[in-house]
Structure 1
Amino acid sequence: MALVSQHPVSQARVVELDALRGLAALAVVAFHYTTHYGNEVGHLGDMPVSFDFGNYGVELFFLISGFVIFMTLERTRTAMDFVVSRFSRLFPAYWTAILLSSVVVYTIGMPSQRLPWSDVAFDFTMIQEILGAEHLDGSYWTLQVELFFYVQMLVWFMLGQLKRIHWIILAWLLIAVGFGEADKHGMHVSYTIGELLIVRYIPFFAIGILFYRLRTQPQNRKGDIALIGLCLVAIGLAYKPVLLLVGVVCTAIFALFQLGWLRLLRWSPFAFLGAISYSLYLLHQAIGFSVIWQLERHGVAPGLAALAAAVMVTVLATGLTWWVERPAMQAIRRWWKRQHAPVPT
């Protein structure tokens, strides 16, 4: 069976891809509330379940971003259109999440969660890690990775080079393998350059881009499939072994998506989870850890404390999505459209 779907890209993007993002966010939440909290803080009792694998939902995020950002740029007229689109999507919800998380952390949170206010101020940039500040919410590190990917793709768009994406991906893979080999052999590599080029994650974004091309340019599928294979080889060479397995699983999930075998994800609960996934990701760790810590100190069993935290952040994420994220995004985009509407002659 050909690895090319006949369904419109927009339909699949709105439903299946958003649902996959929601499931990936839920996996990360489960990992943080069970395994990660246990390792970093320590549950006051036995946690009945563990979700070690949920940590790798992040790599699925990166595949989805590769697919969606390449699709977005193919439909973008100008660089500023893309900047406004991404800003309106990311920052209003992010800034609000920092404020909400700060309120919770500095009232009921653990002392170790309470960063210097200068670090919290840097968090508003979304690139606080490279600026030397800590994350108020430990999950925010992925947002810097995403942002640097957007910037790099925007540069290629402005240079008119996206039509040569195959060569760009080959260069990415060579750089990733080079950095990985240098790290394995104890050679010094520039932290700043590695972060700016997102060398630790770029093959995952590349796989997402290639699946978008498989969906929209089936005449080139042999080359794209070969490049997906090279991405997996690069992951195997550059990173720890478990990430090759993660890459294979993520690729298999996207293959099922391409073949139209994930239509179950159009079910309304999955669609809802996809709709709130960004806000859920933004809110879950700092607030969730504060809630779990307080509940366990008051005698609530770890499993119930984690479940209560999950319910609470889901409610908050729903409110953030419908009262901030979507209205702000729509308002900013409407404003930008009015500012650049054609002048009547």
Structure 2
Amino acid sequence: MIETAVSPARPQSAAPAPAGARDAAAPPRARAGGGRLRPLDGLRLLAALMVAVYHYAGRGGEVTRAWGSSPKDLFPSLHVWAAYGCLGVQVFFVISGFVICMSGWRRPLRSFFASRAARLMPAYWVAVLLVTAVFALPGVVYEAVSPSEALLNLTLLQQPLGGDRVLGVCWTLWVEIRFYALFALFVVAPGANRRRVVLFCAVWTLAAAIATAAEEPLLDLVVMPEHAPLFIGGIGMYLLHRDRRDALAWGIVAVSWLTGQHQAVQSLWHGRGAEHFSYRSASVIALVVTLGFLAVLAVALGRLRRADWRWLTTAGALTYPFYLVHEHLGWVVIDALHQGLGVPPALTLAATVAVMLILAWLFNRFVERRATPWLRRSLAAPAGKPRVRTGP
């Protein structure tokens, strides 16, 4: 679910299908997509911090055991607003639509697959093993999954196969994988260009509406009507990043925002479990989703190009590993600091976020920087020709 705001891939000589007339007419900077979008990196970290505050102070569940009491009692004011932090996921999905369209533009399918797998899997594998190991320690009160379930989690298919999740946040990765599959099948494989991307957005929007009306589980599983508008909105914003005069792209973004905020309200205000968040306001939910759309749109249109600070690259690099480990390992840190050492709640909250950011830096430094390039090269390399043996 989490994407890096990297520069788009350079056009490949083997890329299929020439671009449409609008692609050919676009100025060179627009065709290239510009340089690294550091403000998008900063936005990603902000969304991750929103989710972390939600998990630590905006909900109940296992974190209540870590605090020793309800976060609602410990943070009476913050708790109400932290309950909206889960909407950071909606912001992530909008960013993902933007970045995946940028990453897949004029890119061979094999290279696209390699970049996605290499981006997701190394940190995820280590996070699964680390959380499983920590939860299995004698002094940790949280129940570890069985060895069989832990191994299943390494495939990222535990959710459709009905397995227990090691990482609570991995449900969003299952959503991301289905988005990657749809985009790869219908856009990247035939060759990404504006015409195909616009058609993909239009068909997916219509299919999402039909799936909502049909209430057919299999259709919901494939089309993802709850999340589709967010990804589609991000894709439309990438088209605007290439050409802000693209009227169809503006239409894609507008329809995606209108349907996306509605889906968020339906899910978080009326949906399953919403009775536990009766103090949430439908208007605030819609406002947060709207602000997320506007923030990504500002990046797409170059309104935030002055915020081209180098430290935002580091912020973006920390986001994915932080997102993976912050929830469950955060429980352990909160328990140790607040109940074990008697650290006040506010200081415990800040210290836990800091510890998770440090752990994310270690993941990036020692896992992602080493494993990701190697895995990408290995997956992207064409299969070698079989050797022909000569002689006896």
Structure 1 length as normaliser, TM-score?
0.85
Amino acid at match of 1:60: V
Q: Contact 1:31–1:55 (CA<8 Å) still a contact in 2? A: yes
Task: Give the match for residue 185 of structure 1.
Answer: none
In the TM superposition, what is the alpha-carbon distance from 1:36 to its structure 2 partner?
2.6
1:117-266 alignment, distance < 5 Å: 117-156=147-186, 157-160=188-191, 163-182=195-214, 188-190=215-217, 192-219=218-245, 221-236=246-261, 238-240=263-265, 242=282, 244-263=286-305, 265-266=307-308
Name the CA distance, whole Å, in 2 between partners of 1:161 and 1:274: 26
- Candidates 11, 16, 21, aligned match of 2:35: 11
**What is the identity, as a one-letter code, of the residue corresponding to 2:328?**
A
Instruction: Identify if the C-alpha distance between structure 1 residues 160 and 323 changes in structure 2 by more than 3 Å, giving closer, same or farther.
Output: same
Match 1:20 to one of 33, 43, 47: 43
Hey, what does 2:375 align to over in structure 1? 332
Contact 1:176 1:234 in 2 (8 A): no
Distance 1:337 1:144 in 2: 22
**Of the two, which has the highest radius of gyration?**
2
Residues 59, 246 of structure 1: 8 Å contact kept: no
Partner of 1:47: 75
Q: Secondary structure at the match of 1:266?
A: coil
Q: Deviations over 1:235-262 (max 9, x none)?
A: 3554525454343222211222234332
Classify 1:12/1:53 alpha carbon distance in 2 versus 1 (closer, same or farther; 3 Å): farther
**Structure 1, gaps ≥5 residues long:** 183-187
Q: Deviations over 1:81-122 (max 9, x none)?
A: 1111111111111101111111222224333x4223332222
Separation in 1 of the partners of 2:89 and 2:64? 22
Deviation, 1:11, is 1.9
Superposition deviation, residue 132 in structure 1: 0.6
8 A Cα contact 1:19 1:266, kept in partner: no
CA deviation vs aligned residue, 1:48-95 (integer Å, no higher than 9, x gap):
633222211111111111111111111412x21111111111111110
How far does the alpha carbon of each residue in 1:4-62 deviate from its partner, in whole angstroms, 9 at most, with x for none? Answer: 9x78634243x122221121112211211111357852533523633222211111111
The CA deviation at 1:231 is 1.4
Distance (whole Å) between structure 2 residues aligned to residue 125 and residue 33 of structure 1: 27
Residues 23 and 273 in structure 1, CA contact (< 8 A), matched pair in contact too: no
Higher mean Cα deviation, 158-167 or 297-306? 158-167
Question: 1:109·1:291 contact (CA, 8 Å) conserved in 2?
Answer: no
Task: Provide the residue aligned with 2:360 in structure 1.
Answer: 317
Cα pair 1:101 1:286 within 8 Å, conserved:
yes
From 99, 104, 107, the equivalent of 2:134 is 104
| Residue identity matched to 2:55 | H
Q: Secondary structure at the match of 1:133?
A: coil
The one-letter code of the counterpart of 1:99 is L
2:191, 2:305 → 1: CA distance? 35
Residue aligned with 2:182, SS? helix
The change in CA–CA distance for 1:39 and 1:91 in structure 2 (over 3 A counts) is closer
**Residues 193 and 119 (structure 1 numbering): CA distance in 2 closer, same or farther, change over 3 Å?**
farther
Deviating more after overlay: 306-315 vs 124-133: 306-315
Instruction: Tell me the distance in 2 between the aligned counterparts of 1:283 and 1:148.
Output: 22
Tell me if 1:294 matches 2:336. yes
SS of aligned partner of 2:169: helix
**Which one of 58, 79, 94 corresponds to residue 63 of structure 1?**
94
Superposition deviation, residue 154 in structure 1: 0.8
Query: Which letter does structure 2 place at the counterpart of 1:158?
Result: A
- Kindly indicate whether the alpha-carbon contact (under 8 Å) linking 1:27 and 1:57 is maintained by their aligned counterparts in 2: yes
Q: Is the 8 A contact 1:60 1:250 kept in 2?
A: yes
Question: Identity over aligned residues, as a percent?
Answer: 29
Instruction: Quote how far apart the aligned CAs of 1:306 are.
Output: 2.4
Contact 2:107 2:191 in 1 (8 A): no
Secondary structure in 2 matching 1:240: helix
Residue 292 and residue 173 in structure 1: after superposition, are their counterparts in 2 closer, same or farther (change >3 A)? same
Q: Report deviation, 1:340.
A: 6.9
Instruction: Give the unaligned 5+ runs of structure 2.
Output: 1-26, 267-281, 385-392
Partner amino acid for 1:21? Answer: R
Find the aligned partners of 2:191 and 2:304 in 1 and give their Cα distance.
Answer: 34
Report the alpha carbon displacement of residue 328 of structure 1 after superposing the two structures with TM. Answer: 0.9
Asked whether the 8 Å contact 1:109–1:293 carries over to 2, the reply is no
Following TM superposition, by how much is the alpha carbon of 1:198 offset from its aligned partner in structure 2, in angstroms? 2.3
Q: Answer whether contact 1:127 1:144 (CA < 8 A) is retained.
A: yes
> What is the CA–CA distance in structure 1 between the aligned matches of 2:98 and 2:364, rounded to whole Å?
22
SS at match of 1:11: coil
Separation (CA, whole Å) in 2 of partners of 1:233 and 1:338: 42
How far residue 232 of structure 1 moved from its aligned partner, in angstroms, is 2.3
RMSD, aligned CA: 2.8
